[in-house]
Amino acid sequence: MDMKKKRNLIEPKQIKYDVKDTTEPDLYDELFDYDQVCKVSFDHIPVPMEMPEKIWITDTTFRDGQQARPPYTVDQIVHIYDLMHRLGGKNGVIRQSEFFLYSPTDREAVEKCLEKGYQFPEITGWIRAVKQDFQRVKELGLKETGILTSASDYHIFLKLKKSRTEAIEGYLDVVRASLDAGIIPRCHLEDITRADFYGVILPFVQKLMQLSQESGIPIKIRACDTMGYGVPWSEAALPRSVPKLIHGLVHEGGVPPEQLEWHGHNDFHKVLVDATTAWLYGCCAANGTLLGFGERTGNPPIEALIIDYISLVGHQDGIDTTVITEMAEYFRDEIKVSIPANFPFVGDDFNTTRAGIHADGVTKDERIYNIFNTEKLLNRPLGVTITNVSGTAGIAHWVNTTLRLKGDKRIDKRHPGIMKMYQWVSDQYDNARITGISNEEMLEQARIHLPEYVS
């Protein structure tokens, strides 16, 4: 028995696990019947919440994020990296950013971002589990790199065509090569939510932690929910319970929370709640991408992780939330990304109500219809969708907020241009229109009737 100082409790010594080799892969067919929606099983054994004293965000916009869209140009990468630096602030809430290292564009982008000299986010790499790839990391002077270490039998047996022992020993050889090169290895446990936790994950992780202790280099573990199967419920069973995965990696695997990272995908609409759940149950780092771009359904949106971070720690910790709006505008205007109108925090309709409210109601108290002060925190004033009940006051409010007109530059509802826009709206509904007027339609009318205000 050992006394655990953090909890001041006597607890059992860590059990050592060995790789459990099998002749046939364990594909958890009872949970993952390919012809049905996958099942969630429960063992009704809860594990406790224990959020680390310090949590943070890591970024994979330029790695996983680029697997879901056309590659960014070097200039775009540098500009986005600048935005992330400002968003995460001087305290490094966005602590690291992960880059591909293979193409000339990848390497040029890394070099130009390194020239910025930012402490945060630190630039890290991503390589295959191949020893010669470390040369790419060393050439760029990076201190850390991710290494793909696929963990489930789906990958070990069906993709790699190896036994569990063969796969794990191969990974350990590559990790040793990283340590010999003085580079921090970050092992990406691909498909952990379909992996044998006690027969593969724990024995592998325990060996990694032993190597870490012997070398004095903090080997990191990224728990990768590659297919989005993770669920945020403590009483759900392994391998799908995020609380049990994190708790087990920390307490049975011996992974210090600061060396543990969660990486999820949104196949089942749980990507954000799973990431924050990982924080709550002992993981320091949540990995995400700007706007949630990532393979298939994407990763946790960093802008959403930022908001959840503030809600969990209770303060902004140097974060500049207004950069979220600036980032979205850059993606929309310069990279030509189509952001869904209803996308939280950045979509055109995010803080716009269609519930029949008009400007007179908004001016009474906008808290009725707004989640927080979006003008202060996101540099986005509350919007109102124009309908047949908006009136001239509603149209004037739309113009002033959309065109960011303040003080004596604000347009009064009696302005002739406002009156003409109101007449156009009225004509739409007189002709049996039943939907709200889109921002694009309103902007076109503003160009016609308020040309001096619209560039």
Instruction: Tell me the pLDDT tens digit for each residue of 51-75.
Output: 999 999 999 999 999 998 999 999 9
In order of their start, the domains of the chain are 47-333 (3.20.20.70), 353-449 (no CATH)
In the prediction, which pLDDT does 356 show? 47
% of the chain beyond a pLDDT of 70: 96
In the prediction, which pLDDT does 106 show? 93
In the prediction, which pLDDT does 74 show? 97
397, pLDDT greater than 80:
yes
Instruction: Tell me the pLDDT tens digit for each residue of 116-132.
Output: 999 999 999 998 888 88
Considering the chain, what is the average pLDDT of its residues?
A: 93
Give the confidence band of 359 by pLDDT, cuts at 50, 70, 90.
Answer: low
364, pLDDT greater than 70:
no
In the prediction, which pLDDT does 205 show? 98
In the prediction, which pLDDT does 385 show? 80
Instruction: Tell me the pLDDT tens digit for each residue of 168-219.
Output: 999 999 999 999 999 999 999 999 999 999 999 999 999 999 999 999 999 9
Give the confidence band of 362 by pLDDT, cuts at 50, 70, 90.
Answer: low
Q: Print the SS3 string covering the chain.
A: CEEECCCCEEECCCCCCCCCCCCCCCCCCCCCCCCCCCCCCECCCCCCCCCCCCCEEEEEEECHHHHCCCCCCHHHHHHHHHHHHHHHCCCCCEEEEEECCCCHHHHHHHHHHHCCCCCCCEEEEEECCCHHHHHHHHHCCCCEEEEECCCCHHHHCCCCCCCHHHHHHHHHHHHHHHHHCCCEEEEEECCHHHCCHHHHHHHHHHHHHHHHHHHCCCCEEEEEECCCCCECCCCECCCCEHHHHHHHHHHCCCCCHHHEEEEECCCCCCHHHHHHHHHHCCCCEEEEEHHHCCCCCCCCEHHHHHHHHHHHHCCCCCCCCHHHHHHHHHHHHCCCCCCCCCCCCCCCCCCEECCCCCHHHHHHCHHHCCCCCHHHHHCCCCEECECCCCHHHHHHHHHHHHCCCCHHHCCCCCCHHHHHHHHHHHHHHHCCCCCCECHHHHHHHHHHHCCCCCC
Task: Read off the pTM.
Answer: 0.90
Give the confidence band of 434 by pLDDT, cuts at 50, 70, 90.
Answer: confident
365, pLDDT greater than 80:
no
Give the confidence band of 351 by pLDDT, cuts at 50, 70, 90.
Answer: confident
